[in-house]
Structure 1
Amino acid sequence: MRQYFILFIFGILLAFSSCRTDFDTVASSGDLKFSRDTVYLDTVFTNISSSTYQLKVYNKSKNDISIPTIQLKKGLSSKYRLTVDGMTGNNGKIFKDVTLLAKDSLYIFIETTAAITDANAADFLYTDEIQFDSGANLQEVALVTLIQDAVFLYPKQNPDGTKEKIKIDDKEVDGFYLEDNELNFTNEKPYVIYGYAAVPENKTVIFEAGARVHFHANSGIYVDRDASLQINGSKSNTEKLENEVIFEGDRLESLYSDIPGQWNSVLFANGSKNHSITNLTLKNAVIGLDFKSPANLISIKNTQIYNCAQYGILAQNAAIIGENIAVNYTGLASLSCVYGGNYSFTHCTFNNNWPSSSQFAVNLSNSLPGAVPETNPLTQAAFNNCIIYGSNTNEFNLNKNTNTPFVYQLNNCLLKFSSTTTNPDYQFKTDAIHYNGITLNENPKYYNVNQNKLNIDNTSAAFAKGNQAYIIPLDILGITRTSPPDLGAYQSKDFPK
């Protein structure tokens, strides 16, 4: 019995000795340390929520402390929202008696949704401070957000609460038809599109030089039957591409700068017509330019398309003349011409460094599963002074139905196809009907392929390999080409060392 009593007493002593004193706190003395003294929340559009940013707060002392208040200086009227170690406090604005253990830290997560009218009229900055404690112990961390004004285009709300819909390929999607006063996109303000902005039949949408168009998730442009699209960008003089027309997602934070699939596509319906695209930069779509059997010839010049989840250009039974086009990082193919058509591409760089073993830079086909009929003639697919390259073993794919015309020719092109094959369609050195002047499996040595900088210098295998007969006098940047010309969209130049 005595030994049980001793064990009982020992247990009590052990329990008391192991009790935590973590919450026997002392008041904060104003000696908190922070992971940064200013949190920049990047640029956001008016009334669109930002990404979530974090601030780490450190207690370097040997004492557990209590911070009497953590709050936004503007209080409950602030456009910022905080979460402090998982707590939301008073509407994410004010927190009382926050405990921070010795030699420990806490996380503060920060978001904002602000309008252009909330920002400083002189610089469009919206600012606030996170205040820790008050009086002599007051410490502050600044918050800064640039608010950008924009023109917002979106489907109307129906009386029953549903969104306005349009039909694309017999499927209803969130979308709306542009009014006559919405068909001209200028460079005065950026545009933000929700859903599909559709161009009505017999109307033309025009994008002026310097226009900036941002698409929300699952959004895009739809050009209906007998409608037209004209993109009238021009040469820019700086890396800001001030005269380029730019299509991209509506998240402006640097984290989103190269994430594929943020919005859907620019979709050209069967029977749409008279399309012209000049000096366009398109980024981060699912399919960049999606042509569904347009009625007549399409011109694409000086155009860059990057980071598309499926295709950069998908053309179904289309007719395209392409000059100075650069495409890179696409999940399936940078250029895919299916169900026949008529194509001519000169001084283009079709590269694909998407990290998979099934992607291509260029895919050609004269068939389409499920179509009636299933095959259609490929009357021409000409590639002149082009680069067709990428990270895969073979970047050029022919999907040919031998019962239907399939006409193609590569003249003075750098081509990646390193598999050994007896297939007669891929005899690049001996098949003079389809291949002339092919530079095979040599590195073009792009300036920085991971940043979509497909420029080359004089050490590139594409240097001075072009045929003068196919020369486009100016490259994609408006630089004069020399003779003999380089292959691809870019004239060679020296890079900074």
Structure 2
Amino acid sequence: MRTKILITFSILCSILWITSCRKDFDYAPSNGHLSFSRDTVYLDTVFSNIGSSTYLLKVFNDTKDDVVIPTLNLRNGLESFYRLNVDGVAGKEFNNVPIYAKDSLFILIETTIDITDSAVNELLYIDAIDFDSEPYRQSVQLVTLAKDAIFLYPNEELESSTEILDVFIDESTEPVEIEGFVLNDEYLTLNNQKPYVVYGYAIVEEDQELIIEAGSRLHFHENSGILIKEGATLTINGQLSENDEELEGEVIFEGDRLEPGFDDIPGQWGAIWISQGSQNNFIDHLTLKNAQLGLFVQGQENNIETTLTLTNSKIFNSSTINLWAKNAKIYGENVILGNAGNSSFLIENGGNYSFIHTTVANYWNKGFRFNSALDIRNHSRNNFDVGFNLQKAEFKNSIIDGNGQNEISLITNEQNDFNFHFQNCYIKLNEDNSSNINNPLYNFNNTEYFTHIITAGELDYFSPTDDDFRIGLDSDVLNKGDINTANSSPIDIIGTSRLPEPDLGAYQAINKEN
């Protein structure tokens, strides 16, 4: 009797051990009882043939039972433009996928969409992830807008189209080498029919002109940009837009990632470089954002011709400098030079500059910033002995501001000319700082340098950390502009009349509640 009981107990333990080790026998079909972190996954906008970011979908088993999903697949099958990764396994079709009770399943989703019809500029691509089959099928929709684009990149078949360039000096003073390619005649005029995606530096050769028409969109890949060589010219003919959201007339330069998460990430692409010896460049209604160095302009000593005319344009969110001018001759009107990791506007090696109704304001909040929003020098930053005459640095009806104590830096080597003047400007400077008190360059009572300067007050920006430097009706720079200067620039950057009482900066004040 005792032996029989021991045998029975042994068999029972074996059964319990086996069933505990083989839980896969206990899975029940999901039978339509799954829940999801979202019912539709929007993968945002991508360019044709460029991969998207990775998106996450969570699948929950809220029941008390371990379940198995008999089938999990993309509705468009193996031909789908979407790709899945289900708990670490890549594919487009899966069978018998388990989920424990009160547990979840992670699905990663990506896409690369190919628009084959050249007549189609945009394609709304829709698919779905199906869980199980009828009558228990549950689905999560997948939606992506793909844009067709014209891709500009080095031609691997033509060795002569590729150049290695020392573009500009980075923070470590070392040359930055990039790959460039020469734009052929077909792409010396760019329009708004399709966006352009640039890989590497697009080079405009001597005696050539790159014309960019109103409404054009240029998207630059990492370490990409435009190089205007000596004797070449850049002309950007943007226009005032009627729709503030569509910006149909604006020319826009930005990175090639269209997802919202990349909208305000600095340093996504390289720079626009205007080389020494390039003259009469013209830029109107351009928005340039998220570059490493926004606009780099090289001039030459005793410039006779204007290097660049820059009007109605915004440059912001560069990881280093928005506008860097070296011994150039630049005229600026209705310009916004916003947040940057270094200076918003750096003038180096002298030159000749005249800016009216310009907002230079740096409220960088993505790390430490050690330089002033506006930095003016008649020498090289790295060598006081390399100097050039600052023939003129003139700012009228403008704002020099930021989240630092001193947002203007005036540095001379005391060997070359250093001529500057600010008239009817707001300038943020800590006048009580001992170094500023003892420096005659910051004596706001010296009319040779300063006339009608405001150093304190509320600017009443809309959202400065987001590069929205519109000003409200509570701003202390209202009606502080010089009327004669405003007569030469009667319309602000968004088309608002600033007469008869002009405000300072690129924007005329408006009601924030509108």
TM-score normalised by length of structure 1 = 0.92
Q: Do 2:121 and 2:148's aligned partners in 1 also have CA atoms closer than 8 Å?
A: no
Match of 2:470 among 428, 440, 455: 455
Q: Do 2:46 and 2:147's aligned partners in 1 also have CA atoms closer than 8 Å?
A: yes
1:468 aligns with 2:483: yes
Alignment partners' CA distance in 2, 1:281 and 1:423: 39
Q: What is aligned with 2:7?
A: none
CA 379–123 in structure 1, closer or farther in 2 if over 3 Å, else same: closer
Letter of the 1:49 partner, please give it: G
Q: What is aligned with 2:92?
A: 93
Match of 2:39 among 37, 49, 68: 37
1:237 aligns with 2:239: no
1:124 aligns with 2:123: yes
> Taking every aligned residue pair, what percent have the same amino acid on both sides?
42
1:328 aligns with 2:338: yes
Q: Which moved more, 1:139-148 or 1:112-121?
A: 112-121
Deviation at 1:184, TM superposition (A): 0.1
Alignment partners' CA distance in 2, 1:58 and 1:41: 21
Q: What is aligned with 1:105?
A: 104
Matches for 1:379-390 after TM superposition, within 5 Å:
379-390=391-402
Q: Do 1:336 and 1:364's aligned partners in 2 also have CA atoms closer than 8 Å?
A: yes
1:432 aligns with 2:447: yes
Q: What is aligned with 2:162?
A: 164
1:195 aligns with 2:194: no
Deviation at 1:123, TM superposition (A): 6.3
CA 490–395 in structure 1, closer or farther in 2 if over 3 Å, else same: same
Alignment partners' CA distance in 2, 1:323 and 1:19: 77
1:209 aligns with 2:183: no
1:316 aligns with 2:316: no
1:171-209 Cα shifts (integer Å, max 9, x gaps): 753221111121001111111110000001110000111
Q: What is aligned with 2:154?
A: 155
1:383-419 Cα shifts (integer Å, max 9, x gaps): 1010111111111111211111111111111111125
Alignment partners' CA distance in 2, 1:171 and 1:397: 26
Alignment partners' CA distance in 2, 1:299 and 1:163: 29
3-state secondary structure, aligned to 1:374: strand
Q: Do 1:119 and 1:147's aligned partners in 2 also have CA atoms closer than 8 Å?
A: no
3-state secondary structure, aligned to 1:174: strand
Matches for 1:42-441 after TM superposition, within 5 Å:
42-88=44-90, 92-117=91-116, 124-158=123-157, 164-168=162-166, 173-239=178-244, 240-293=246-299, 296-297=305-306, 298-355=308-365, 356-369=368-381, 374-418=386-430, 420=432, 421=434, 422-425=437-440, 427-441=442-456
CA 171–34 in structure 1, closer or farther in 2 if over 3 Å, else same: closer
1:345-399 Cα shifts (integer Å, max 9, x gaps): 1000001011334132100011115679611111111110101111111111112
Q: Which moved more, 1:409-418 or 1:275-284?
A: 409-418
Unaligned runs of 5+ in 2: 1-9, 168-174
3-state secondary structure, aligned to 2:215: coil
CA 394–428 in structure 1, closer or farther in 2 if over 3 Å, else same: same
3-state secondary structure, aligned to 1:76: helix
Unaligned runs of 5+ in 1: 1-8
CA 336–41 in structure 1, closer or farther in 2 if over 3 Å, else same: same
Deviation at 1:159, TM superposition (A): 8.4
Q: Do 1:223 and 1:229's aligned partners in 2 also have CA atoms closer than 8 Å?
A: yes
CA 370–148 in structure 1, closer or farther in 2 if over 3 Å, else same: same
Q: What is aligned with 1:6?
A: none
Alignment partners' CA distance in 2, 1:22 and 1:474: 75
CA 159–473 in structure 1, closer or farther in 2 if over 3 Å, else same: closer
Letter of the 1:48 partner, please give it: I
1:1-48 Cα shifts (integer Å, max 9, x gaps): xxxxxxxx9xx99x9599567543112111110111111111111100
Letter of the 2:458 partner, please give it: N
Alignment partners' CA distance in 2, 1:495 and 1:410: 29
Alignment partners' CA distance in 2, 1:30 and 1:340: 72
Deviation at 1:461, TM superposition (A): 1.3
CA RMSD of aligned residues (A): 2.4
Deviation at 1:333, TM superposition (A): 0.7
3-state secondary structure, aligned to 2:419: coil
Q: Do 1:418 and 1:441's aligned partners in 2 also have CA atoms closer than 8 Å?
A: no
1:275-334 Cα shifts (integer Å, max 9, x gaps): 011111111001111012266311100001111001110000000110000121101111
Alignment partners' CA distance in 2, 1:119 and 1:95: 34
3-state secondary structure, aligned to 2:156: coil
